[in-house]
């Protein structure tokens, strides 16, 4: 229940035509590749669930747990049927709180209720994810009661800068080496 004003389902949500790439292809020949990417993302997710992770692993896990619009994502903990897996893999368009039902549907529900139960105080909202799962602008799935992982597209996103750029290139110092080892999870001892 809420007393605020929230967007309508699908309000302001638009997909993008993606004919120039086949990442989100729904062709039969592309489905096995999509399933492979989903399984690899699940394996990576499990691999980052470790006790006392190296800093680089902790950054990767934090980034995967906090997808942003534009990220390639995969739904967590969904049905294993092919349709759900396909619609749970794609580009995140939005993650927001919105009305559970449209104004029209809500008005119809209120008209059917006794007057004592009417009012926006009884109207529900939900945490909603919009994922473009296919190449067409209309290939959008609205998810509620769901959770998504960002799929890392570039391992360099989790690196920390090493070395100091100068006019000769990059100067790599002992401290850079030690910092890089520590970031990768090596335990360092002082002598």
- Examine the domain organization and report whether 147 and 171 are in the same domain: no
In a domain, 3, yes or no: no
DSSP lists the bridge partners of residue 132 as 91, 140
In a domain, 97, yes or no: yes
Q: Is the CB of residue 144 less than 8 Å from the CB of residue 95?
A: no
In a domain, 5, yes or no: no
Residue with tokens 């990220």: 71
In the predicted model, is pLDDT for residue 107 greater than 80?
yes
- In terms of average pLDDT, the best of 78-87, 102-111, 125-134 is 125-134
Give the angle subtended at the CA of 154 by the CAs of 161 and 23, to the nearest 5°. 165
53-76 pLDDT, tens digit per residue, is 888 889 899 999 999 999 999 998
Say how far apart CA 80 and CA 117 lie, in whole Å: 39
Q: How many domains does the chain have?
A: 2
Binning pLDDT at 50, 70 and 90, where does residue 98 land?
very high
Q: Which stretches of 66-102 are DSSP H helices?
A: 82-87
User: 147: domain range?
Assistant: 31-159
- Examine the domain organization and report whether 67 and 152 are in the same domain: yes
- The mean of the pLDDT values for the chain is 85
156-166 pLDDT, tens digit per residue, is 777 777 777 78
Contacts of 118 (CB under 8 A, 6+ apart): 110
């Amino acid at each position: 229940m809420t007393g605020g004003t929230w967007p309508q389902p699908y309000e302001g949500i638009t997909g993008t035509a993606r004919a120039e790439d086949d990442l989100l292809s729904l062709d039969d020949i592309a489905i096995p590749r999509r399933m492979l990417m989903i399984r690899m993302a699940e394996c990576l997710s499990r691999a980052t669930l470790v006790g006392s992770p190296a800093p680089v692993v902790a950054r990767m896990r934090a980034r995967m747990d906090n997808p942003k619009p534009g990220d390639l994502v995969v739904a967590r903990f969904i049905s294993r049927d092919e349709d759900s897996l396909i619609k749970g893999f794609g580009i995140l368009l939005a993650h927001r709180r919105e009305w559970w039902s449209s104004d029209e549907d809500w008005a119809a529900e209120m008209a059917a209720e006794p007057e004592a139960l009417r009012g926006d105080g009884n109207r529900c909202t939900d945490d909603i994810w919009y994922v473009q799962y296919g190449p067409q602008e209309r290939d959008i799935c609205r998810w509620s009661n769901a959770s998504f992982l960002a799929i890392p597209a570039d391992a360099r996103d989790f690196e920390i800068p090493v070395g100091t750029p100068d006019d000769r290139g990059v100067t790599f110092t002992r401290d850079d080496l030690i910092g890089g080892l520590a970031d990768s999870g090596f335990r360092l001892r002082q002598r």
